[in-house]
Structures are given as structure tokens and as C-alpha cells.
């Protein structure tokens, strides 16, 4: 194949488009579309980060849970126009960049907290939020997780959270 | 049974016979779909449609059944890996597409055997034919090793992905794959392992997709796209059987990103439910989901209600009450003489149980990705019944079976909803009309408003007892809308989905009468986890409890007396051919022991028991509850199950716990209601699936060790959960709830 010149002097580069800069899993993206676009559809339809799931229309299921500046939020009720400069972590961003799993993800595997698996990304995010607030959660704290699972994974999710909490504590010692 | 088994083996060997080339029909792994055959031959060697071995010893096992959370991909891969003697850490499990070729007459010929998620049949089917798959692949590897070493096969053995010679030499499967893949298949199916040699079956295995799920990489159907696909959302007529009266789509059309607005006419009611759209509608096709949803909100639509308006539960209850005064639609079973025995009885009992309509409420709503070409169709959708889907696509496109590619991604729940293929029909109709790939998306509100529900039912039970409190007469009358209605079944078969003629106490009571009454509901009715086992087990097990208390008997002893000496009773229908009363009594005893049934209590806690036989599985539940003011507390939940041999105990336990919690969650507070001719519920706020805090923190599972044939596990844990809860509530409160859902009625009665 013939080598192409690196830049074509006949083409003027497109001016930088105005938009909303958001940081998703430590990468900065510029959203140039509808400012009212819910974050969920930005993640799923634009970035194709499909780990955050769609599951309801009344902010009741938690399948789209993300961390917004480290705190639990539902991507379906966040609009892009309110997210400029904000840091979003989705389930895809939970693992360490080197590929090693977050202690919660490892605990989920160890407890086989799966069933159909559709709600689990949201559960993991809710659990990450819980452990950030309560490093040593008791049953009542875990009961505060409002994410829905019809398959009935709750007892294993509960055990996985306790397991991850103790793994994180152990690693800190 | 043995005929089916033989047929399965013949089918398998036939497919294998075509295997000497590079590619085998039916094994289409999405990850490798674009890889040229020649290259594939270098990289992966296929021993049969289900097993490929890489030169480095990695073994790829194809899982054929749709995964909806029942753990089938893991279970069937373990069955194959066991007979193959594979090294499990080096096994990769990938989903297979629907295996179909043309039979020469335009009809589909299924190449991979069982491919559905229905009635917990995946594991029993895999047990009957997939063990031979693993064993055949292993036999080919043994032959290849014998050739390589130039020794006889007799002394060779296999272990964890290696062939081992008597002198200790070993060859990895990866090193033998090339030679094995060109060998002719064995003339006769190789012998299967003796159970005492199992290393994988009966041992715990985590879900094979777990890592992808926790990292967000698992691609459910809803997560997939085709290039150039338009997102479609449909405004559906909220009135059953209704149609479009007036449409103004000016505003919707004006929205940037909207490609097309298409009217979907009233579905052809001559086609069976489940193979056509559920409702008339107006579809919006747009470049992305958000635009499609906004445009749908901008549609100005007037709907024309159907001739047959949906009625609320009160109207249906009145209809059912009236039905019970007349002759049954179908007398299902009559043993002895019920009326006579009832007249002679020393004591009588009678009660009616009302079951609310429920929806499927799976977290991943229906969706379908479709791409049509001149001579091809590709479908990606959550599915439990892909063969049904193929028929739908064939009918709508005129394509031949082999031109249709149906992928089976993991589904976000199933619960019977995806046995129906109305979402496939909608998407294909839209793709045809738009001449573009379509990504059809339902919202969760759509799914509540349009569902093949498990509808309202009224169950009337009556019994007569002799002086020793033995039940001598039993009448069970069920008024319900048949799941088989509007599905091309003749009238005289509609009862089949509503009452199981050999469910206990049938066969245990001399004078017994089972009747079914057809209840007319405008709502579409479909499959719902465990079918009518759920509603009948609730009525029967609560009624038995009422008899226990009316006669001041011990609840466990009375039920054990009813089941009687261990013996086999004939059982027609799914789960038969026999029901072993001893196995049922045993799980009941185990559950009762685990909950501490015999211990006297004075803490205000109540215990409840229930048992049921579902699709071959013997299950009992025991619950311990109390009331804290108006709050119901569940302190302990036990499920004891005899499911025959269990392939993956970790998965079976998940299924039993899951079904128990699903049963409890549904029984607590879930109901679909009709208001002004349409469904009132729009989301989980109106249809409150139980959250973590509302359910028992743990469910104790007792799995009975068994050498019997495996039954599967997914549905068995549901039916007896709700009645055990109702019975425990009675024990704690003396309030008898005869309705599902329980909580609203309990609050009314307290």
C-alpha cells in the first residue's frame, strides 16, 4: 500500500465542537448532542458501554446504577447537561486498569452471585457505594440496597458484599 | 424413552459424520463468525458440533440451550466435559445459535437437539444425549493417541485433558486434536462413565459467564447492535383487541433523528398467541433510543377499545362464582364417588382461593435485533423458544430454515415470557417495512401493559373426613383462563395447562373429583414459571393446613399420613411416569426438621409447611415468620429438594433459593389489575418486586443425594413457597389468607 502523507494540506481541520465534557471510567468524552439526554442512553447508545442496564421507567430497579463522583446515582435520571466535569464510574470501570478484578467482582465470582446476571452490574455499583460509606456493613446496612432482582440472587449478593468487605480490610492490614 | 435416546444418538452421529471437513453445520460461535473456514481449521479443531479443541489444549464447548438464569450453559458444559474428561479450567463455554438445516421440503431439521428453556427440561435432555457427545470426542482422542504411539487402545486412559499410556507417557488433548478431528466417528456410541468415576458432575461449578457479567462485558440481546440499525419503539393499543382510531404524528416526525413512523395494524387473531404481535400499535423508528422514546411521547393517538373489554378481578371472581354453579367445562378426574363420600363424611371443609393476575416483570424487557437480506435473516433476541421464533421468521419472510440465523444470547430473566415470540414478529414486520436493520426496544412500562400474563384464577376446594380425620372425599374445582387458549388447541384440551390430574392428593384419596371451568378473560395468557403448579399448590397446601387446624392435628404428621407408605403412583404429564410418595414425604420431613417443627414455641413465631411435586422434582418448604405490628418478618426459610442426580449443586442451590424468593416476592404483594379496560400497573413502583430487606436474609437449601435421573432445578422451588408462607402466617396470627397476593388481604384481615 502506498504511504499517505500524514496530513493533507488541502483540508482544514474541523473546529473543536462545543459540548459537555464528562469523565467516564477515567476517560474524558465530549457530548455534543441533546443536553437533556439521560446518561444511561449516552453510555449505552453513544459510548456503547452496555454494562449499565436499562430495566425500568420509574427509577425503581437500580440496573443502571453508576457512581457519580464516587456516590451512587441512577444513570436513567441524570441528564448530560448536569454532568459537565463530573466523574462517572460504570461497572466497566470497577476493575483495575491492569485487568485485575475489584474485590467486589472477585467476591461475586467466589459466591457465584449471578443467576441471570442482568441486575448484577447495578448491584455491584450499589455495593461499591455501600462499602465506600460503610467499610464493615452489617445486615441492616446491606438491606439498604434497593436494587431489584427477580431471580432471587439477594442472599448470595449479601454474602459477596460481606466477603469483599473482609477482603478489602485484610488487604489494608 | 430409550427410543428418544437412540434417536438422539443417531442424530448426533449423523451430524458427526459430516464432520471431516473444516466446518460442521450448527456450530456457529459468535466470536468466530467472521473467521474464514480455512483459518479456523488451523486454529480450532472440531470433534463434533459441541466440542472444539485448540492446539494449546483449550477446549471450547458449545452450549445449545438458551440461558435465562437457570444455569444451563454451565450444567450442560459440565455434562460434556465430564464424559470428555476435560480439564475444566481450560474449558471455554460459548453459546450456540439455533441449529437448523433444510430437510429438503422447506421444513426445518433441527441439528442440535433440545434448544429451549421451558419446563426445566434442559438438563434432563442434556443428560440423555450430550453425555454421548463428550464420550465420542474422548473416544476419538483415544484413537488418535493409539495411532500416534502405535499401541492398542486398551490400556490407554484419560484424565484432565490428557491421554495417559500404561507406561506413563502422556499426550495433551491439544496435541491430539488434529489427528482426532479427521478420524471416522466410532461405529457405536462409546460407553458412558460409571457414576463413581465422576469428577465434575455432582461438584460445584460457578456460572461460566460470571466473569463477563461482573465486568459488564456480557452481551445480552439488549446490548447488541447491527450497523445501520434503527431503534424502534412501539406505542401499543392499551385495550385488549383494540385498534387505532386516529393518529397525528406531525410533532413526532419533526423531531431530528426520527426516520419513520409506521402503523402496525391489529394483529391477525387467527394466528396463535405468541407468534404474532400482542397488540395494534404505532412504531417510531429513530437513530437512537432516546430520540425514539421522545418521539413516541409526541405521538397523538386515539385508540378504539376492542369488542371484548378487559375486566377487573372482581368481575372475574363473580364470573367464576357463577361458573361453579354449573357443570364444569371439563371433568378432569373422578375417582370413586365424591358426592356420596361427602354425604357420608363425619366432618366437611370447604374454601375458595383467589389468585391475582401476575406479570413476568423480567428486568430485561422484550427486545429484538433483526437484519433481513434478500436471502438471509439474522435475529438476536432474548428467547426461550427459538424454534418457535424460526417459524415466525419463516412465515413473515418466506425464507428457508437454513437462511435464518437465530442467536441465543443470555437473557435477563425469562420466567416463561420468552416462550412467546411476539417481540420477534414485531421486529421482523418492522424490518420488512423499513428495509433496514431494526433494534426493537420495549420499555418496562410496555412490558407491564402488554404481557402474556398468568391470569386470575379461582380455586374451590372441598373435603369430607371420617371419624379418624382421614380425608375420604376431595373436590378441586379450578376456574381459570387456559394457557392453551388462543393457541390453536381444541376446546377439549384446554384444561391440560390448568390442572395436573395426578398431583397429590390425587391418588391418595379414594373419592376424588377434579374439574376445570373455563374463565373468559380478554387479557392474553402465557407461560409463567412452573405454570399452574404455582396456583394449585397454593390452594391445595393451604387447604390441607385448614383441615389440620380444624381437626387439631399436627401439620407434619397429617401430611405424612396423607402421603402414606412410600410407593409409586402413576403420574401422567411432565415429570412422570411415576410419583414416589416416599420421596415427597422425605423432603417434607427434612424441611420440617430444619425449621425446628417439633420444638414448642412461645415467641409468637409461626411455622408453615408445604410440599409439591413439579416436573419430576420433589420439593418442600418450611417458613418461620412473625408479625411486628403490621410488618411481616420472615425469620427462616428452608427448601428441601430431591431433584434426582444434581449436575451442578451450586447452580441447583441458586435455582432453588431464587425460585423460593421469587415465589415469596410474588406471593407477598404482586398483582396486575385492570382499570378502565387497561392495565393499571406501569412499573415496579406499582408492582413492587420484593427488595433485599423484605425477604429472608438466607434460604437454607437441603439437597437430597440421589442416583435417580436428573430433573433440572429452575421451577421446582417455586410452587410450595407461597403456601408455606400463608401457613406460617396463620400459625403466627390465626389469620387465614386465601388470596394471592397475601399482604393486602392480610392487612385487611388483621
Residues in chain B closer than 8 A to A94 (CB atoms)? 214-216
pLDDT recorded at residue B312: 80
Q: A92 touching B, CB under 8 A? A: yes
pLDDT recorded at residue B455: 86
Site from B89, B93, B213, B367 to mutate, A interface, most A CB atoms within 10 angstroms: B213
In chain B, domain spans: 2-212, 221-307+360-449, 530-750
What distance in Å separates residue B44's CA from the closest CA in chain A?
A: 26
Contact state of B683 with A38 under an 8 Å Cβ cutoff: no
What distance in Å separates residue A172's CA from the closest CA in chain B?
A: 23
Confirm if B641 and A136 have CB atoms less than 8 A apart. Answer: no
pLDDT recorded at residue B8: 36
List the single residue in A94, A95, A148 with the smallest CB-CB distance to B691.
A148
Confirm if A123 and A149 have CB atoms less than 8 A apart. Answer: yes
Q: pTM of the entire structure?
A: 0.94
In chain A, domain spans: 20-93, 103-172
pLDDT recorded at residue A16: 80
pLDDT recorded at residue B664: 98
Contact state of A153 with B654 under an 8 Å Cβ cutoff: yes
pLDDT at B219 exceeding the cut of 70: yes
List the single residue in B209, B413, B692 with the smallest CB-CB distance to A154.
B692
**Superfamily (CATH) of domain A20-93:** Beta-grasp domain (3.10.20.30)
What distance in Å separates residue A55's CA from the closest CA in chain B?
A: 5
Per-residue model confidence as pLDDT tens for chain A (173 residues): 455 555 566 777 778 888 999 999 999 999 999 999 999 999 999 999 999 999 999 999 999 999 999 999 999 999 999 999 999 999 999 999 898 999 999 999 999 999 999 999 999 999 999 999 999 999 999 999 999 999 999 999 999 999 999 999 998 87
For residue B733, CA distances in Å to B318, B367, B632 come to 29, 45, 10
Q: Does domain B530-750 have CATH number 3.40.190.10?
A: no
pLDDT at B264 exceeding the cut of 60: yes
For residue range B285-295, list pLDDT tens digits in order: 999 999 999 99
pLDDT recorded at residue A6: 59
Q: B207 touching A, CB under 8 A? A: yes
Residues in chain A closer than 8 A to B210 (CB atoms)? 108-109, 112, 114, 117
Count Cβ–Cβ pairs < 8 Å, chain A vs chain B. 185
Residue B47 confidence class, pLDDT cut points 50, 70, 90: confident
How far apart, in whole angstroms, are the C-alpha atoms of residue A60 and residue A58? Answer: 5
Contact state of A48 with B225 under an 8 Å Cβ cutoff: yes
Contact state of B689 with A120 under an 8 Å Cβ cutoff: no
Contact state of A58 with B682 under an 8 Å Cβ cutoff: yes
Confirm if A116 and B69 have CB atoms less than 8 A apart. Answer: yes
Q: In chain A, how many H helices and how many E strands?
A: 5, 5
Residue B41 confidence class, pLDDT cut points 50, 70, 90: very low
Mean pLDDT value across chain B: 93
How far apart, in whole angstroms, are the C-alpha atoms of residue B448 and residue B628? Answer: 32
Q: A74 touching B, CB under 8 A? A: no
Plot region of B257 (φ>0 → left; ψ -120 to 50 → alpha; else → beta): left
pLDDT recorded at residue B19: 32
Q: B366 touching A, CB under 8 A? A: no
Contact state of B363 with A155 under an 8 Å Cβ cutoff: no
Question: Taking residues B493-516, what's their average pLDDT?
Answer: 97
Percent of chain B with pLDDT over 90: 88
Domains B221-307+360-449 and B530-750 agree in fold? yes
Question: Taking residues B486-511, what's their average pLDDT?
Answer: 97
Q: B213 touching A, CB under 8 A? A: yes
Residue B16 confidence class, pLDDT cut points 50, 70, 90: very low
Q: Could you tell me the fold of the domain covering B2-212?
A: Aldehyde Oxidoreductase; domain 4 (3.30.365)
Q: A73 touching B, CB under 8 A? A: no
Residues in chain A: 173
Contact state of A153 with B68 under an 8 Å Cβ cutoff: no
Residues in chain B closer than 8 A to A109 (CB atoms)? 206, 210-211, 214
Q: B695 touching A, CB under 8 A? A: yes
pLDDT recorded at residue B106: 83
Contact state of B692 with A109 under an 8 Å Cβ cutoff: no
Longest Cα separation, chain B: 83
Edge-to-edge strand list for the sheet holding A87-89: A27-31, A20-24, A87-89, A65-68, A71-74
**Superfamily (CATH) of domain A103-172:** [2Fe-2S]-binding domain (1.10.150.120)
Q: B68 touching A, CB under 8 A? A: yes
pLDDT recorded at residue B399: 96
Q: Which residue on chain A is closest to B693 by alpha carbon? A: A143
What distance in Å separates residue B73's CA from the closest CA in chain A?
A: 11
Contact state of B216 with A46 under an 8 Å Cβ cutoff: no
Question: Taking residues B503-531, what's their average pLDDT?
Answer: 96
Site from A115, A119, A137 to mutate, B interface, most B CB atoms within 10 angstroms: A115
Residues in chain B closer than 8 A to A139 (CB atoms)? 697
Q: Residues 383 to 442 of B: which have CB under 8 A from any A CB?
A: 410-415
Q: A3 touching B, CB under 8 A? A: no
Q: Measuring CA to CA, which residue among B495, B210, B277 is closest to residue A114?
A: B210
Residue B275 confidence class, pLDDT cut points 50, 70, 90: very high
Residues in chain B closer than 8 A to A142 (CB atoms)? 692
Contact state of B214 with A152 under an 8 Å Cβ cutoff: no
Three-state SS at B121: coil
Contact state of B210 with A45 under an 8 Å Cβ cutoff: no
For residue range B371-422, list pLDDT tens digits in order: 999 999 999 999 999 999 999 999 999 999 999 999 999 999 999 999 999 9
List the single residue in A61, A91, A146 with the smallest CB-CB distance to B216.
A91
How far apart, in whole angstroms, are the C-alpha atoms of residue B538 and residue B163? Answer: 53
What is the enclosing helix (H) or strand (E) of B587? helix B581-595
Q: B693 touching A, CB under 8 A? A: yes
Virtual torsion, Cα B488, B494, B497, B499, nearest 10 deg: 180
Q: Which residue on chain B is closest to A104 by alpha carbon? A: B214
Q: Residue B473: beta bridge partners? A: B464, B511
Q: A65 touching B, CB under 8 A? A: no
Plot region of B468 (φ>0 → left; ψ -120 to 50 → alpha; else → beta): alpha
Confirm if B83 and B135 have CB atoms less than 8 A apart. Answer: yes
pLDDT recorded at residue B43: 56
Q: Residues 640 to 679 of B: which have CB under 8 A from any A CB?
A: 650-651, 654, 657-662, 665
Three-state SS at B345: coil
Q: B249 touching A, CB under 8 A? A: no
What distance in Å separates residue A20's CA from the closest CA in chain B?
A: 17
Q: Residues 108 to 127 of A: which have CB under 8 A from any B CB?
A: 108-109, 112, 114-121, 124
Q: Which residue on chain B is closest to A150 by alpha carbon? A: B662
Q: Residue B445: beta bridge partners? A: none
List the single residue in A38, A116, A143 with the smallest CB-CB distance to B413.
A116
Residues in chain A closer than 8 A to B659 (CB atoms)? 152
pLDDT recorded at residue B22: 24
CATH code, B221-307+360-449: 3.30.365.10
pLDDT recorded at residue B338: 98
Q: Which residue on chain B is closest to A36 by alpha carbon? A: B290
How far apart, in whole angstroms, are the C-alpha atoms of residue A6 and residue A12? Answer: 14
Confirm if B201 and B74 have CB atoms less than 8 A apart. Answer: no
Q: B233 touching A, CB under 8 A? A: no
How far apart, in whole angstroms, are the C-alpha atoms of residue B632 and residue B255? Answer: 50
Q: Say which residue the cell 419503539 belongs to.
A: B233
Amino acid at each position: 500500500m502506498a504511504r499517505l502523507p500524514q496530513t493533507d494540506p488541502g483540508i482544514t481541520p474541523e473546529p473543536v465542537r462545543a459540548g459537555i465534557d464528562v469523565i467516564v471510567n477515567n476517560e474524558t468524552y465530549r457530548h455534543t448532542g441533546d443536553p437533556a439526554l439521560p446518561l444511561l442512553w449516552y453510555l449505552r447508545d453513544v459510548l456503547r458501554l452496555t454494562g449499565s442496564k436499562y430495566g425500568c421507567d420509574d427509577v425503581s430497579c437500580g440496573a443502571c446504577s453508576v457512581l457519580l463522583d464516587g456516590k451512587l446515582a441512577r444513570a436513567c435520571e441524570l441528564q448530560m447537561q448536569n454532568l459537565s466535569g463530573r466523574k462517572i464510574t460504570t461497572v466497566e470501570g470497577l476493575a483495575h486498569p491492569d485487568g485485575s478484578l475489584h474485590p467486589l467482582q472477585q467476591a461475586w465470582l467466589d459466591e457465584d452471585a449471578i443467576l441471570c446476571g442482568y441486575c448484577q452490574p447495578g448491584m455491584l455499583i450499589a455495593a461499591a457505594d455501600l462499602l465506600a460509606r460503610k467499610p464493615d456493613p452489617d445486615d441492616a446496612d446491606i438491606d439498604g440496597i434497593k436494587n431489584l432482582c427477580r431471580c432471587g440472587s439477594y442472599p448470595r449478593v449479601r454474602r459477596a458484599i460481606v466477603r469483599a468487605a473482609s477482603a478489602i480490610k485484610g488487604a489494608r492490614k | 424413552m430409550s427410543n428418544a435416546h437412540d434417536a438422539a444418538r443417531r442424530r448426533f452421529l449423523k451430524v458427526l459424520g459430516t464432520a471431516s471437513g473444516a466446518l460442521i453445520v450448527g456450530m456457529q460461535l459468535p466470536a468466530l463468525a467472521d473467521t474464514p473456514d480455512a483459518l479456523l481449521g488451523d486454529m480450532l479443531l472440531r470433534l463434533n458440533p459441541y466440542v472444539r479443541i485448540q492446539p494449546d489444549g483449550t477446549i471450547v464447548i458449545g452450549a445449545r440451550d438458551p440461558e435465562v438464569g437457570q444455569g444451563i450453559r454451565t450444567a450442560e458444559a459440565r455434562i460434556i466435559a465430564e464424559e470428555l474428561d476435560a480439564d475444566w479450567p481450560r474449558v471455554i463455554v460459548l453459546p450456540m445459535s439455533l441449529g437448523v438445516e433444510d430437510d429438503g421440503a422447506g421444513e426445518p431439521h433441527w441439528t442440535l437437539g433440545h434448544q429451549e428453556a421451558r419446563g426445566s427440561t434442559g438438563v434432563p435432555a442434556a443428560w440423555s444425549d450430550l453425555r454421548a457427545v463428550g464420550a465420542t470426542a474422548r473416544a476419538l482422542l483415544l484413537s488418535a493417541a493409539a495411532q500416534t504411539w502405535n499401541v492398542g487402545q486398551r490400556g490407554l486412559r484419560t484424565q484432565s485433558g490428557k491421554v495417559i499410556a500404561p507406561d506413563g507417557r502422556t499426550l495433551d488433548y491439544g496435541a491430539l486434536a488434529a489427528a482426532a478431528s479427521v478420524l471416522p466417528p466410532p461405529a457405536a456410541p462409546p460407553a458412558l462413565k460409571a457414576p463413581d468415576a465422576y469428577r465434575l458432575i455432582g461438584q460445584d461449578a460457578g456460572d461460566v459467564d460470571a466473569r463477563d457479567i461482573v465486568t459488564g462485558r456480557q452481551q445480552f440481546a439488549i446490548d447488541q447492535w447491527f450497523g445501520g440499525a434503527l431503534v424502534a419503539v412501539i406505542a401499543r393499543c392499551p385495550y385488549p383487541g383494540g385498534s387505532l382510531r386516529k393518529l397525528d404524528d406531525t410533532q413526532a416526525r419533526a423531531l431530528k433523528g426520527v426516520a419513520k413512523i409506521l402503523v402496525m395494524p391489529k394483529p391477525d387473531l387467527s394466528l396463535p398467541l405468541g407468534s404474532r404481535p400482542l397488540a395494534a400499535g404505532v412504531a417510531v423508528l429513530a437513530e437512537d433510543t432516546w430520540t425514539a422514546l421522545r418521539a413516541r411521547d409526541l405521538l397523538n393517538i386515539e385508540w378504539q377499545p376492542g369488542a371484548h373489554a378487559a375486566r377487573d378481578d372482581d368481575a372475574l371472581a363473580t364470573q367464576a362464582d357463577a361458573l361453579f354453579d354449573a357443570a364444569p367445562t371439563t371433568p378432569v378426574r373422578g375417582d370413586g364417588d365424591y358426592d356420596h363420600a361427602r354425604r357420608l363424611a363425619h366432618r366437611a371443609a370447604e374454601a375458595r382461593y383467589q389468585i391475582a393476575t401476575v406479570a413476568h416483570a423480567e428486568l430485561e424487557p422484550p427486545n429484538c435485533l433483526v437484519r433481513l437480506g434478500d436471502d438471509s435473516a439474522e435475529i438476536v433476541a432474548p428467547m426461550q423458544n427459538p424454534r418457535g421464533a424460526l417459524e415466525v421468521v419463516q412465515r413473515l419472510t418466506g425464507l428457508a430454515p437454513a437462511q435464518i440465523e437465530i442467536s441465543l444470547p443470555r437473557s435477563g430473566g425469562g420466567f416463561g415470557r420468552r416462550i412467546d415470540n411476539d417481540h420477534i414478529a414485531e421486529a421482523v414486520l418492522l424490518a420488512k417495512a423499513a428495509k433496514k436493520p431494526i433494534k426493537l426496544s420495549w420499555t418496562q412500562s410496555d412490558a407491564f401493559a402488554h404481557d402474556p400474563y398468568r391470569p386470575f384464577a379461582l380455586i374451590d376446594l372441598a373435603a369430607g373426613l371420617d371419624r379418624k380425620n382421614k380425608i375420604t372425599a376431595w373436590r378441586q374445582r379450578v376456574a381459570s383462563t387456559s394457557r392453551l387458549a388462543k393457541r390453536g388447541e381444541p376446546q377439549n384440551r384446554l384444561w391440560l395447562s390448568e390442572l395436573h390430574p395426578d398431583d397429590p392428593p390425587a391418588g391418595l384419596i379414594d373419592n376424588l373429583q377434579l374439574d376445570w371451568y373455563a374463565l373468559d378473560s380478554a387479557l392474553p395468557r402465557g407461560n409463567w414459571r412452573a405454570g399452574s403448579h404455582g396456583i394449585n399448590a397454593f390452594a391445595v397446601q393451604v387447604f390441607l393446613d385448614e383441615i389440620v387446624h380444624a381437626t387439631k392435628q399436627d401439620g407434619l404428621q397429617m401430611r405424612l399420613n396423607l402421603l402414606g407408605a412410600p410407593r409409586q403412583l402413576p403420574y401422567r404429564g411432565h415429570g412422570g411416569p411415576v410419583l414416589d410418595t416416599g420421596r415427597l414425604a422425605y423432603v417434607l420431613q427434612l424441611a420440617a426438621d430444619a425449621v425446628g417443627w417439633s420444638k414448642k414455641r412461645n415467641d409468637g413465631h409461626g411455622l408453615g409447611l408445604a410440599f409439591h411435586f413439579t416436573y419430576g422434582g420433589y420439593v418442600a418448604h418450611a417458613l418461620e415468620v412473625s408479625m411486628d405490628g403490621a410488618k411481616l418478618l420472615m425469620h427462616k426459610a428452608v427448601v428441601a429438594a430431591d431433584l434426582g442426580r444434581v449436575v451442578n449443586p451450586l447452580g441447583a442451590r441458586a435455582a432453588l433459593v431464587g425460585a423460593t424468593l421469587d415465589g415469596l416476592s410474588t406471593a407477598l404483594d404482586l398483582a396486575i389489575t385492570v382499570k378502565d379496560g387497561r392495565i393499571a400497573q406501569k412499573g415496579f413502583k406499582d408492582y413492587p418486586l420484593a427488595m433485599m430487606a423484605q425477604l429472608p436474609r438466607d434460604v437454607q437449601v437441603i439437597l437430597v443425594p440421589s442416583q435417580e435421573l436428573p430433573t433440572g432445578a429452575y421451577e421446582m422451588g417455586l410452587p410450595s413457597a407461597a403456601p408455606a408462607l400463608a401457613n406460617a402466617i396463620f400459625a403466627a396470627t390465626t389469620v387465614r389468607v386465601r388470596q394471592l397476593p397475601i399482604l393486602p388481604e392480610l392487612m385487611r384481615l388483621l
